[in-house]
């Protein structure tokens, strides 16, 4: 459990760059569709280069063949887990500071047990109740934001992130279920009948490699980016937006996502899975520090600090329950 938690916290450090850099691009007038889609375009390039430079070209080709064999599954998993998730987060950056988005994003801690229940997994009732502390913290933080911002902007900054908080664990859980199905774990406890028919049992070397799993999900998200660019037809991005999306791709898309998926795939039980997802509450702290230092952001007031404290308390107690 300790290794899962420390890996997850390191992932949260890199993930926090998303909220800070997305906010910076929004303040400079960058369109959210480019902010989202360029990140994954860069990720394809970076992941391919990484596999080539590390002598794993054959493994990368194996991942590509796995994608082509199960392209419907990967399109659904990638479009939801990467596409819907990040499109909503990028959209919210136009209406809320990075640390507020990071705090609202912690609703994924509440969303994860619900997603696990939807997949037919058992979840500790005590752990589920403790996630309400995180929910209370998110409410406090957004209530403070509402005192200084029009209600419409607060909702546009918060509600899409709430949707993203469900999309991300759902997409990742699809991949986890496919991997576990290959080991026979699903027979004893696992997906509901409808999901069981949809999720393939993927017993493949590419499924054991974190970089390949990120590559497969990124490939699966491409159709959604093509659709969004066609629908919104944004003007061409600025040079600064292109550079910042590259930084997001490196820090968050490759480093953080690989670390986070590694933490999740170390987990062998639903409790360990939930603990890995719970570590992402540290993004609030990292995002707040980054925004204050880099964007001259304003520190929260009493209600905001109370919300951050409740969010972190929820993490600590959650881990304590899972280890008891």
- pLDDT of the residue at 176: 85
pLDDT (average), residues 269-292:
74
pLDDT digits (tens, 9 = 90+) for 11-57: 888 888 888 899 889 989 999 999 999 999 999 999 999 899 988 99
Query: Full-prediction pTM beyond 0.85?
Result: no
d(CA 256, CA 258): 5
- Name the nearest CA neighbour of 165 among 247, 59, 88, 53: 88
Q: Is the pLDDT of residue 189 over 60?
A: no
What's the domain range around 65? 2-323
Q: Is the pLDDT of residue 60 over 60?
A: yes
pLDDT digits (tens, 9 = 90+) for 239-252: 999 999 999 999 98
Q: What is the dihedral of CA 29, 156, 294, 246, to 10 degrees?
A: -60
Q: Is the pLDDT of residue 163 over 90?
A: yes
What are residue 227's phi and psi, to 5 degrees?
A: -65, -45
pLDDT (average), residues 63-72:
94
CB atoms inside a 10 Å sphere around CB 266: 15
* Number of residues assigned to the chain: 324
- pLDDT of the residue at 188: 45
d(CA 74, CA 81): 10
CB atoms inside a 10 Å sphere around CB 136: 16
pLDDT digits (tens, 9 = 90+) for 216-265: 999 999 999 999 999 999 999 999 999 999 999 999 877 887 788 788 77
Q: Where is average pLDDT lowest: 53-57, 107-111, 156-160, 212-216?
A: 107-111
- Say which residue, 289 or 38, is predicted with more confidence: 38
CB-based contact 217:171 (threshold 8 Å): yes
Map tokens 């590694």 to a residue.
Answer: 262
Model confidence band, residue 127 (pLDDT cutoffs 50, 70, 90): low
Q: Is the pLDDT of residue 157 over 50?
A: yes
Q: Where are the alpha helices (DSSP H) in the chain?
A: 2-27, 32-53, 57-69, 71-78, 85-92, 98-105, 108-118, 125-148, 151-182, 185-188, 193-198, 210-232, 239-248, 257-266, 270-278, 283-295, 302-323
CB atoms inside a 10 Å sphere around CB 194: 8
d(CA 176, CA 173): 5
Number of domains within the chain: 1
- pLDDT of the residue at 65: 94
What are residue 56's phi and psi, to 5 degrees?
A: -115, 35
Using CA of residue 42, residue 43, residue 48, residue 49, what is the dihedral sign? positive
The SS3 assignment for 37 reads: helix
- Say which residue, 129 or 172, is predicted with more confidence: 172
d(CA 79, CA 227): 11
């Amino acid at each position: 459990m300790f290794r899962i938690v420390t890996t997850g916290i390191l992932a949260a450090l890199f993930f926090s760059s998303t909220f800070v850099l997305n906010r910076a691009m929004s303040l400079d007038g960058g369109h959210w569709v480019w902010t989202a889609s360029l990140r994954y375009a860069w990720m394809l390039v970076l992941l391919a280069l990484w596999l080539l430079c590390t002598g794993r070209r054959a493994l990368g080709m194996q991942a590509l063949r796995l994608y082509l064999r199960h392209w419907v599954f990967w399109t659904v998993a990638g479009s939801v887990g990467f596409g819907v998730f990040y499109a909503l987060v990028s959209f919210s950056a136009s209406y809320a500071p990075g640390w507020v988005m990071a705090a609202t994003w912690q609703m994924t801690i509440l969303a994860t047990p619900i997603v696990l229940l939807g997949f037919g997994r058992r979840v500790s009732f005590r752990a589920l109740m403790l996630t309400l502390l995180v929910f209370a913290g998110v409410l406090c933080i957004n209530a403070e934001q509402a005192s200084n911002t029009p209600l419409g902007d607060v909702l546009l900054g918060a509600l899409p992130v709430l949707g993203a908080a469900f999309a991300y664990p759902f997409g990742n859980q699809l991949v986890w279920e496919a991997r576990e199905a290959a080991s026979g774990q699903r027979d004893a406890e696992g997906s509901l009948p409808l999901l069981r028919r949809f999720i393939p049992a993927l017993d493949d070397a590419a499924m054991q490699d974190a970089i390949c799993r990120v590559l497969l999900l990124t490939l699966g998200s491409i159709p959604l980016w093509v659709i969004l660019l066609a629908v919104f037809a944004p003007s061409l991005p600025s040079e600064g937006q292109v550079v910042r999306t590259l930084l997001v791709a490196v820090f968050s898309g490759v480093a953080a996502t690989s670390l986070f998926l590694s933490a999740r795939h170390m987990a062998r039980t639903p409790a360990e899975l939930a603990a890995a997802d719970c570590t992402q509450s540290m993004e609030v702290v990292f995002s707040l520090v980054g925004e204050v230092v880099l964007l001259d952001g304003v520190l929260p007031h009493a209600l905001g600090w109370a919300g951050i404290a409740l969010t972190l308390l929820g993490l600590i107690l959650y881990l304590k329950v899972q280890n008891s």
